[in-house]
Amino acid sequence: MQPFFSEFRVSNPQTKSTYRVTMRGKHSGDNDCACPDYASNELGTCKHIEFTLATLEKKRGAKATFAHGYHPPFSELYLRSDSTRTVHFRPGTDCPAAVRKAAALSFDEGCDWRLRDERPATLDRLMALAAENGHELRAHDDALDFLAGRRDADRRSLTLDSLFPRGAADPSLNKLLKVPLYPYQTEGALFAVRAGRALIGDEMGLGKTIQALAVAEIMAKHFAVSKVLVICPTSLKYQWQNEIARFSGRDSRVIASGRAQRQKDYALDDFCKITNYEKLQPDLDLITAWAPELVIVDEAQRVKNWNTVAARALKRIDSPYAVVLTGTPLENKLEELISIVQFVDQHRLGPTWKLLHEHQVKDESGRVTGYTGLEKIGQTLAPIMIRRRKTEVLMQLPERTDQNLLVPMTELQMTYHQENAEVVTKIVQRWRRVKFLSDQDQRRLTCALQNMRMSCNSTYLLDQESDHGVKADELAALFDELFEQPDAKAVVFSQWTRTHDIVIRRLEARGIGYVSFHGGVPSEKRPSLVKRFRDDPGCRVFLSTDAGSTGLNLQHASTLVNMDLPWNPASLEQRIARIHRMGQKRPVRIVNFVAKGTIEEGMLSVLAFKRSLSAGILDGGTSEISLGGSRLSRFMRDVESVTGHMSEGEAMTPVEETAGMAAETQAAPMRGAHVVPTGTGAEIGGEHGAAQAPTNMDANPWPALVQIGAQLLSALVATRDATTPVHPWIECDPATGARHFKVPLPPPQTARRLADALSALADALRA
């Protein structure tokens, strides 16, 4: 092997990265490196090339070899990455005249044998001619990839023109998904397919997700794409899964659980897999092996800093096609836009140092005070980025859109939710057996259901110490995007003022003005709060509870967020009517946060439960309930139904919970403080407080024993003078007519405690 002009592998022990370096000389542009920096810095060199050159120059004979230059017998096709990316031909010393003449048809000999843009198709003939003449023509991978990308772009453009001759107005595009697209959405989808790798930067609420799904469908049906990877925040994974099924009818797989399970999931042949940013680095080898053809990156502003582990891992994912979604491509600094664009096209904006030098405005001390010439950046990005504002497509938008956003629970939230779900399960099981619930059980049931609901918002609602929850952080992320619009305002509803507390922390950390409106606000102060929200440009958020919302007119806001859904459909519509009413001049967006795998998700599937609670049993916050007869039966059937519809959700790991979240992690709560009531004075929710749940019945066996005894007597009474069984514990033999008395056993843990208590009682009596 040639000791100087050859290919070398350079490794970085810190990053554990290895790159191929090709040496052809000492001058800038002669050599080549496979690292991303060389491809984008326009310097014609990089640290790997300089390291290799410095190492070679120490070898014997280096000076004479470099002075003589690189004159191989074979010819080459290579990619030069200096101010522009161009393919060049280097004729070897043994290059036949016929091959050289053919090369002159495609390459400009006067410009270092640079490939003419309009003649790439003749390269196939050139390579065939070289083979016929027995001449070695080496084509480097980066040059071939570059040319393949250009040819693929030409092919896509021709195919799109033939498939959709009327462009975005072509009627066949309305059959692409299960719902018709708006014209600007079909325009965005076609733009992204034509670009191959594109950034959709539409303002929030314009449907970037459905545009990405339309891109995936076009790619799958017409360009043989069979593997799609969706990368999004943890809190949006199941939302993506639901919308893929809803809009395209395709199945998708959420990547979750431990490494072993994720390895199995990536080995399966799925059309679409959905993962989150935190799992990119540990799963990079699995993603590379699966080799996705289309990568969809949602909420890309969350990786605006390429120094993060997730951002660096994202940049290493190699796919021919990509769609990046963000409503805020530029938030604070120009470097954020550069970071996002580099994943789409690392060469589009050129080297960061050059771009910042051209567009940053600095004062005498070198501090950045602004930017200039941004219209030039816009022109540079035009081939790969499309961005529309609501004002541009206002006439196309619907009057009202409703969106359910599924968010995961943290581990502590899931613990609280499960503890109360177990209480509900035990009471439901008791109901199945005896078809009777005491007033105390009814109160305990209501309290546990209320606690389950509150745990979906944050653990703070239950223990007033910790703040483990995803909803408030997702709300803050939504506001970061929404308030890019200078006049945007939002109304946020929650049943509990403690939800207001955790939201207010996020608002104050961001300097966002707000008012908090609830039943505890004196009536004489309410008009001034509404007036401030309406007239003060700095007051962007109106926090409200149902108790405080009666009679409000808030149509100067066009976004309404429900942190928790009321069980009564009428209450939900009353909330929405605060902004969706006469005088509203803009399309209204309703966003409902729903905790995945919880009672909240069960509610989405069981509308009957809402109807059964229309009297406000849970929404009104009454301290006691007492249901009987058919009303109790309906209520219990609905409780069974809604808890039975709770799907299996993924709890966020502590790493995922803290990554990208603005809320500080507080001390863990006292366990058991929220679990349970002790009597008739329990507070079961309402606007101002968390539910105080009763003492766990299994901890004290005597109430259980008394209740079983009462139920036993009830069953015995039911047998008196009865010709047919009237109690579930009594069964009638169809052959003999004999009646049998069957007493259901309590749970094992309760049975053990009962046995221990009875044994202790017997010992005491004997003593």
Q: What domains lie within the chain, and their CATH numbers?
A: 7-135 (no CATH), 164-348+385-396 (3.40.50.10810), 351-382 (no CATH), 405-658 (3.40.50.300), 699-766 (no CATH)
Most confident of the following: 194-198, 657-661, 676-680: 194-198
CB atoms near residue 550 (< 10 Å):
9
Provide the pLDDT confidence category of residue 624 given band limits of 50, 70 and 90: very low
Q: Rg of the chain over CA atoms, in angstroms?
A: 34
What's residue 675's pLDDT? 27
Least Cα distance to 690 among 386, 459, 397, 420 occurs for 459
Provide the pLDDT confidence category of residue 219 given band limits of 50, 70 and 90: very high
Calculate what percentage of the chain has a pLDDT beyond 70: 75
Residue 28 above 90 pLDDT?
Answer: no
Lowest mean pLDDT among 333-337, 399-403, 453-457, 518-522: 333-337
Residue type, 528: S
Residue 531 above 50 pLDDT?
Answer: yes
Better-predicted residue by pLDDT, 410 or 625: 410
Residue type, 731: E
Residue 275 above 90 pLDDT?
Answer: yes
What's residue 395's pLDDT? 75
Helix axes 183-195, 141-163, angle to 10 degrees: 150
Residue 406 to residue 241: CA distance in whole angstroms: 10
Residue 718 above 60 pLDDT?
Answer: no
Residue 290 to residue 514: CA distance in whole angstroms: 47
Residue 540 to residue 483: CA distance in whole angstroms: 8
Please compute the mean of the pLDDT values over residues 197-221 and round it to a whole number. 91
Please compute the mean of the pLDDT values over residues 348-372 and round it to a whole number. 76
What's residue 611's pLDDT? 43
- Residue 268, CA distances (Å) to 225, 261, 262, 273, 440 in order: 16, 11, 10, 10, 50
- Residue 51, CA distances (Å) to 46, 140, 658 in order: 9, 22, 39
Residue 166 to residue 227: CA distance in whole angstroms: 29
What's residue 37's pLDDT? 80
Query: What is the average pLDDT score of the chain?
Result: 78
What's residue 144's pLDDT? 87
Least Cα distance to 267 among 299, 240, 291 occurs for 291
Return the percent helix, strand and coil in the chain, to nearest 5: 45, 15, 40
What's residue 724's pLDDT? 40
Better-predicted residue by pLDDT, 360 or 669: 360
Number of H helices, E strands in the chain: 28, 27
Residue 453 to residue 249: CA distance in whole angstroms: 31
What's residue 69's pLDDT? 83
Please compute the mean of the pLDDT values over residues 278-307 and round it to a whole number. 88
Most confident of the following: 189-193, 395-399, 437-441: 189-193
Provide the pLDDT confidence category of residue 696 given band limits of 50, 70 and 90: very low
What's residue 674's pLDDT? 28
Better-predicted residue by pLDDT, 143 or 339: 143
- Residue 78, CA distances (Å) to 1, 24, 144, 268, 396 in order: 20, 11, 8, 37, 48
Better-predicted residue by pLDDT, 130 or 756: 130
Residue 9 to residue 17: CA distance in whole angstroms: 10
Lowest mean pLDDT among 233-242, 406-415, 568-577: 568-577
Most confident of the following: 30-39, 88-97, 691-700: 88-97
**Nearest-5° angle of CA 628, CA 630, CA 634?**
105
What's residue 436's pLDDT? 80
What's residue 671's pLDDT? 26
Provide the pLDDT confidence category of residue 677 given band limits of 50, 70 and 90: very low
Please compute the mean of the pLDDT values over residues 222-234 and round it to a whole number. 93
Residue 145: what are its φ and ψ, rounded to 5°?
-65, -40
Residue type, 723: T
Please compute the mean of the pLDDT values over residues 3-28 and round it to a whole number. 84
β-bridge mates for residue 322, sequence order: 197, 295
Most confident of the following: 1-10, 106-115, 566-575, 661-670: 106-115
Residue 425 to residue 513: CA distance in whole angstroms: 43
